[in-house]
Amino acid sequence: MAFNEAESLAEVTSEIRDSLERLGRPWEMVIVNDGSADATGSIADGLASESSAVRAVHHPVNQGLGAVYRTGFAEVTSEFVTFLPADGQIPASSIAPFVAAMDAGADMVLGTIPDRPVPLYVRMLSSGERLLYRLLFGSFPAFQGMLMFRRSLLDAVELTSTGRGWTVIMELIVRTARRGASLAHVETGLDARRSGESKVTNLRTILSNFRQVLQLRWDL
């Protein structure tokens, strides 16, 4: 997932590729360039030209995290699916334990991040979001950062969330859990961004996500 990540994209992609190759199984990587204004797009095309397992998909304009997820859903073909940000915050080494949990029989593996020092406003946003989900949907599986799931789930559940926010991922989790699918949890680390600023803690994305969550509650 890349939006204006020219400084970190090549390095992070290399780390992800190394982690995938160590698994010793077929893999594919789809770089979704979300209308970047820097050199992210050209770097993504260059990386794709170096390996047939890497593809670059470009949004003509920035559409937000929700659109990136939906593009990823449409593009991937592998049995297991995950998303990693091009800023390097989720270590590529997290992939292996998630795959191990999937191989053990899980339909979806949800990441959890141990307590770490973050700005107060980020902690408040995270706590408020978790409270909102519990109020609207009742029990909600613990989840932070990264998830992995079987590609077949995308054919089994109908996702209705649209817009910029990440609600489409929360919808996938809710609908999957309500189907009685097997869920597992794996703790992951969280590294500092390699460069740039957060793209998800801005007011535009937060308000969009809030509206989508309310709509999702209505749809469910």
Which CATH number belongs to the domain containing residue 114 in this structure?
Answer: 3.90.550.10
Q: How many domains does the chain have?
A: 1
Where does the pLDDT of residue 62 fall: very low under 50, low under 70, confident under 90, or very high at 90 and above? very high
Cα–Cα–Cα angle for 188, 71, 143, nearest 5°?
25
In a domain, 66, yes or no: yes
In a domain, 2, yes or no: no
In a domain, 4, yes or no: no
- Report, in angstroms and rounded to the nearest whole number, the Rg of the chain calculated over CA atoms: 17
Other CB atoms closer than 10 Å to residue 116's CB: what's the count?
A: 8
Q: Can you tell me the distance from the alpha carbon of 74 to that of 109, in angstroms, rounded to the nearest whole number? A: 20
Where does the pLDDT of residue 202 fall: very low under 50, low under 70, confident under 90, or very high at 90 and above? low
- Whether the pTM exceeds 0.75: the reply is yes
Residue type, 182: S
Average confidence (pLDDT) over 172-197: 87
pLDDT exceeds 90 at position 140 = no
- The percent of residues in the chain predicted with pLDDT above 90, rounded, is 64
Pairing of strands 147-150, 80-82: antiparallel
In a domain, 110, yes or no: yes
In a domain, 3, yes or no: no
Q: With the C-alpha atoms ordered 207, 115, 183, 30, is the resulting torsion angle positive or negative?
A: positive
Q: Can you tell me the distance from the alpha carbon of 40 to that of 121, in angstroms, rounded to the nearest whole number? A: 29
Tell which wins on pLDDT, 29 or 118.
29
In a domain, 130, yes or no: yes
Q: What is the pLDDT of residue 164?
A: 85
Partners of 58 in the β-ladder: 33
Q: Can you tell me the distance from the alpha carbon of 28 to that of 14, in angstroms, rounded to the nearest whole number? A: 13
Reduced to 3 states (helix: H, G, I; strand: E, B; else coil), residue 57 is: strand
**Structural domain span for residue 139:** 9-219
Name the average pLDDT for the chain. 88
In a domain, 140, yes or no: yes
Query: Are 112 and 28 spatial neighbours (Cβ–Cβ below 8 Å)?
Result: no
User: Which residues fall within 8 angstroms of residue 17, CB to CB, at 6 or more apart?
Assistant: 29, 51, 54
In a domain, 1, yes or no: no
Query: Are 47 and 17 spatial neighbours (Cβ–Cβ below 8 Å)?
Result: no
